[in-house]
Amino acid sequence: MKKIYLQLILLIFILISCETSQKKEQEPMQSNSPFQFMILSPGHFHAGLVLKNMYPSVDTTVYLYAPEGPETDDFLNRIKQYNTRDENPTAWVTEIYRGPDFLDKMIAEKQGNVMVTAGNNKRKTEYIKAAIDAGINVLADKPMAIDVDDFELLKSAFEAAEANDLLLYDIMTERYEITTILQKEFSQIDEIFGDLLKGTPQEPSITKESVHHFSKVVSGKPLVRPSWFFDVSQQGEGIVDVTTHLVDLIQWECYPEQVLNYEEDVEIMNAKRWATELTFNQFNKVTKMESYPEFLLKDVVNDSLLNVYANGEITFRLKDTYAKASVIWNYEAPEGAGDTHYSMMRGSKANLIIRQGEEQNFTPELYIEPNTVTMDELKQNVETNLAQITNNYEGVTISEEENRLKVNIPEKYRLGHEAHFGQVAEKYLDFLNKGKLPEWEVPNMLTKYYITTHALEIAKINTSDQ
C-alpha cells in the first residue's frame, strides 16, 4: 500500500512538472530589444504606417492606448493587414487599452520607452510634454504645434527632453523623397549650381509648393478621414500642417546641418490663408458621416458648404535667403494623379526644379535649367561632375531636353511616400541607440515651428483685414 502511495505521489509530481514545462514553452520569450513602442491615440493613418515594417531593435509587442472609436479600429485593422499580407508580413502583437483616460493610463503603466503619436493635433503638444515629463522618448507625426501657445509648450518639452536625456523628434518623411535628395545634392556642387541666390520677397531664391487631396487611397484602400480632420481647431490650418514639411525642406536644403536660431535668423515677410469649399456629398464620401458634427457647423456656409482653411502661403527670410512655402488642398486629384510637389532652387549658374504635373505623368522629376551659363556649358559642367552624385546614387543619368537637363532616376530609389515612414523610424532608432540627435535638429525644429505658428498669426490678421 505504501509503495502504491509513493508511486501515486511520484506520478502527480511528474504530471505537474510536465504541465509546468509546457506552460513555460507556451510563454512568449522575453525580448532583448532595447525599445518598446507605445502608440497613443492613433487618429491619423500615419501612426499605422510607422508599423508597416519591423525593426530589429523594437520589441514585437506594441502597447496601444487610445479612446474608443472608428479611428482606433482603423489602426488595428491596418496592423492586421500588415501582419497578414503575403509579402514580407509583419509580426506585431498589440496590447490594447481603450478608454477616455488613455494618456494617464499610458503614463501610469509606462509599458514602453518610446511613444509614437499621430492623430488629432488639438492636444498633441500636451501629450508630447506629458510623455517627456514621464521619462518617455517621443516620435511624433507633424505638426507638433498648431498655434503660438503650442509653440511655447513645445519649447518647454524640448528643454525637459534635454534635461532628462530623452529624444523628441518629428516625422519628416519628405527628406527621404529621391528628387528632393538629389535637388539638395546637386545644389552642393558649385560647378553645376553655383551659389544659392539670396532672392527677394517678390522673387524668392527657393520656392516649395504642395498640393494635397482630401479623397485619396492609402495602402490600396480608400482613406476614411475622421470628421475632426476638417476642423482646423483640431487638425490645424494648412499653413501649420503640411507647410511644416516645406519649411523643413527649405531649412534642410539651404543650410544643411547648420544650427538655426529663430530669434536671430528668421523674419516672416508675409503670410496668407484661404479656405477650400467642400460640398456635403464630398464630406460624406471621405468621412462616411450622415451629417456634419456640431463642432463643424461654425464653418458651414450657405446651409451646406464646408469651409476648411487648409490652404496657406508663407514668405520669409531665413538668414539672408528669401523663401516661399505654400500648400493647397483640393477635394480629389485628377484621374491617375495624386498629391503633387513643385520646388525651385535658384542658383547663380543653374536652377534646380522639381515638377510633378501631367507632363511628368504626375511623378516627381528633377530638372536642371541654365541660369547664367549656356546650355552647352551646363551640360559640360554636369557631365564633368556627375560622379559626385553617382558615387552614392548609382544609375542616375542625365538626358537633354529643350532648354533643360532631366535627371533620370532609377526606379529602385522611388520608394513611395508610405515607405518613408519606416525610413524616418529607422533614423530615429539610430539616434536613440547613439543617445542623441545631431546638434542642429532641435534648434531647427524649433525654428520650423516658430515660422509656421507665427505665420498663422499674421495670416489671420491679413484675412480679417480683407
Per-residue pLDDT of the chain (466 residues; tens, 9 = 90+): 444 544 544 444 444 444 433 333 333 334 578 999 999 999 888 999 999 999 999 999 999 999 999 999 999 999 999 999 999 999 999 999 999 999 999 999 999 999 999 999 999 999 999 999 999 999 999 999 999 999 999 999 999 999 999 999 999 999 999 999 999 999 999 999 999 999 999 999 999 999 999 998 877 778 889 999 999 999 999 999 999 999 999 999 999 999 999 999 999 999 999 999 999 999 999 999 999 999 999 999 988 999 999 999 999 999 999 999 999 999 988 777 778 889 999 999 999 999 998 889 889 999 999 999 999 999 999 999 999 999 999 999 999 998 999 999 999 999 998 999 999 999 999 999 999 999 999 999 999 999 999 999 999 998 865 5
Give the domain ranges of the chain.
Answer: 37-170, 174-417+436-465
Q: Indicate the CATH number of 174-417+436-465 among 3.30.360.10, 3.40.50.450, 1.10.3720.10, 3.90.25.10.
A: 3.30.360.10
- 353: which 3 cell numbers? 526644379
CATH number at 37-170: 3.40.50.720
Entry pTM: 0.90
Please report which helix (H) or strand (E) contains residue 271, including its range.
strand 266-278
The C-alpha cell 508610405 sits at 418
Peptide bond into 143 cis (omega under 30): yes
Using alpha carbons, select from 313, 311, 312 the residue that is nearest to residue 329. Answer: 311
Please report which helix (H) or strand (E) contains residue 64, including its range.
strand 61-66
* Cβ(42)–Cβ(119) below 8 Å: yes
Residue 346: exposure state from Cβ atoms within 10 A (0-12, 13-18, ≥19): buried
Strand partners for 400: 405
Q: Which residues contact 273 (CB under 8 A, 6 or more apart)?
A: 237, 238, 239, 309, 311, 312, 313, 456, 459, 460, 462, 463
Strand partners for 204: 199
* Cβ(442)–Cβ(261) below 8 Å: no
- Tell me how far apart the alpha carbons of residues 236 and 24 are, in angstroms, rounded to a whole number: 50
Neighbour-count burial for 149-182, b at 16+ CB within 10 Å, e otherwise: ebbeebeebbebbeeeebbbbbbbbbbbbbbbbb
- 26: which 3 cell numbers? 507556451
Neighbour-count burial for 113-132, b at 16+ CB within 10 Å, e otherwise: bbbbbbbbbbebbebbbbbb
Please report which helix (H) or strand (E) contains residue 343, including its range.
strand 340-346
- Tell me how far apart the alpha carbons of residues 253 and 247 are, in angstroms, rounded to a whole number: 10
